[in-house]
Amino acid sequence: MFLSVLQRKLSNGYKSKGLITQTGDYQLIMPIRLMAALEDDPILCSRLDLLMEHREERQKEAENWSKTTLQVVQPIRTRLKKCNWSEDSIQRCVGLVRTNATQTIASSITLDGTNSEDKDLATIRVLYPSMSIMSHSCIPNTRTIHQSNYTLEVRAMRKVKLGEELTISYTGKETYLYILKSEN
């Protein structure tokens, strides 16, 4: 859903309207995508209300908070003339992304209908609200699989007992493999 919002907004001319004017402006895209999606989807709003944004911790890092205000919040509010998004709501979206988004390889289908090679693609950040409420474990009982259509699949890595919390690794498989090796 976020991708379709972004594609619609970009095709409507963010570049031609001067919102995205230079490479550094791409940090504006994720908050814009999230804000636009929240305007259209009350269910998404309620799902994101469950997530942490670490606002207090981010505000204590005064230099980073100021940079976010100058480089993200103000450009969004200035360049989107009819934007009624508050500084607070944009900062919330920035916090949600920084706290809960994950990184994956972008997927693409070439003109002939085949998938592009991973080496030809960039990494992207995605926000999966359901995954974001899962707790971390160094030895998780589930694993996440990013699908080429930007959906996420969560699979059990072992039998999970009734009532047991489902966990994922926030740090990736390298940490998990290191822990397993050091235990043996």
Q: What is the 3-state secondary structure (H, E, C) of 55-69?
A: HHHHHHCHHHHHHHH
pLDDT higher than threshold 70 for residue 184: no
Asked if residue 53 and residue 119 are part of one domain, the reply reads: no
Residue ranges making up the domain that contains 164: 103-183
Q: What is the pLDDT of residue 8?
A: 44
Q: What is the pLDDT of residue 182?
A: 60
Mean pLDDT of all residues in 109-120: 61
Give the number of domains in the chain. Answer: 2
Which position has the higher pLDDT, 72 or 25? 72
Backbone phi, psi, residue 121, to 5°:
-115, 160
Band of pLDDT at residue 9, cut at 50, 70 and 90: very low
CATH number of the domain that residue 135 is part of: 2.170.270
Residue 73 near residue 27, CB atoms below 8 Å: no
pLDDT digits (tens, 9 = 90+) for 37-64: 898 899 999 999 999 999 999 999 999 9
